[in-house]
Amino acid sequence: MSDQWGEQRSQLTEATREMYRRGLVGAYSGNTSLRLSGSGADGLLLVTPTHHPYYRLEPEELVVVDLEGEPVEEGGMAPSSETRVHLEIYRNRDDVQAVVHTHSIYASVASVVGRDIPALIDEMLLTIGGPVKVSKYAFPGTQQLAEEAYAALGNRNAALLRNHGVVSVGPDIWEALEVADLVERLAQIFVHARNFGPRAATTLPEDAIATEMEMFRSSH
Ligand code: 13P
């Protein structure tokens, strides 16, 4: 296997192991990817292999795919079954360099209940650019899931996949991972606040929301 893109392979491996260490996924769930850069890398992505435990993921096991999701090297592992979700986002968002998909628990609770996470705390608007919307349900691995995921994401940095999990994006893999982590913490805040009563979770004042959305837009 070619050791071209060694630096990016190491980075994605480290971030994916960190996603597992933080408990954002089980050993076999979720997936990550980044856009490759450098000579000959136009339109190529590096993506995690399908059904492979993340605690022992190695850089050479990551799969290089083109924008159709086809592996460009022979003899490697098969790419993630959710590669279509990643591709759909890269096709529509030039600003995105990395995508993370997790199955973190509280965010999955919100996705099962079908509740958008509203504008609860300032950090959220500045980092995600708005509420975290829940997509319509679509079957795993399908192009329909990819389209529903992007429809819920829009120009924000995270979305919930209905009855499934989280998708987050960023200008690099570490930022995309931090967004996935923030979504989980937000979902915990949301679920715990609702334990005080169905209307106990209050949202930020409208003027704070407007100011922070503007700050997000001007920094992206
Ligand atoms: P893969 O192992 O194929 O990436 O699938 C894991 C997953 O979480 C699907 O949603």
Burial of 219 (0-12, 13-18, 19+ CB in 10 A): exposed
Nearest CA to ligand 1 atom 10: 30
Distance, in Å, from the CA atom of 14 to the CA atom of 55, rounded to the nearest integer, reads 10
Which of 26, 151, 24, 45 has its CA nearest to residue 98?
45
- Cα 82 from chain centroid (whole Å): 11
Atom of ligand 1 nearest to the CA of 25: 8
Atom of ligand 1 nearest to the CA of 164: 10
Instruction: Record the pTM.
Output: 0.97
CB 110 within 8 A of CB 192: no
pLDDT tens, the chain, 220 aa long:
556 799 999 999 999 999 999 999 999 999 999 999 877 788 899 999 999 999 999 999 999 999 999 999 999 999 999 999 999 999 999 999 999 999 999 999 999 999 999 999 999 999 999 999 999 999 999 999 999 999 999 999 999 999 999 999 999 999 999 999 999 999 999 999 999 998 999 999 999 999 999 999 999 8
User: According to the model, what pLDDT value does residue 41 have?
Assistant: 81
> For ligand 1, is residue 81 a contact (CB within 6 Å)?
yes
70 CB contacts (<8 Å, ≥6 apart)? none
User: According to the model, what pLDDT value does residue 74 have?
Assistant: 92
> For ligand 1, is residue 170 a contact (CB within 6 Å)?
no
Residue with tokens 């650019």: 129
Pocket test for ligand 1, best of 29, 55, 102 (most atoms within 8 A of CB): 29
User: According to the model, what pLDDT value does residue 104 have?
Assistant: 98
Distance, in Å, from the CA atom of 208 to the CA atom of 50, rounded to the nearest integer, reads 42
Q: Tell me how long the chain is.
A: 220
CB 17 within 8 A of CB 55: yes
Gyration radius of the chain's alpha carbons:
17
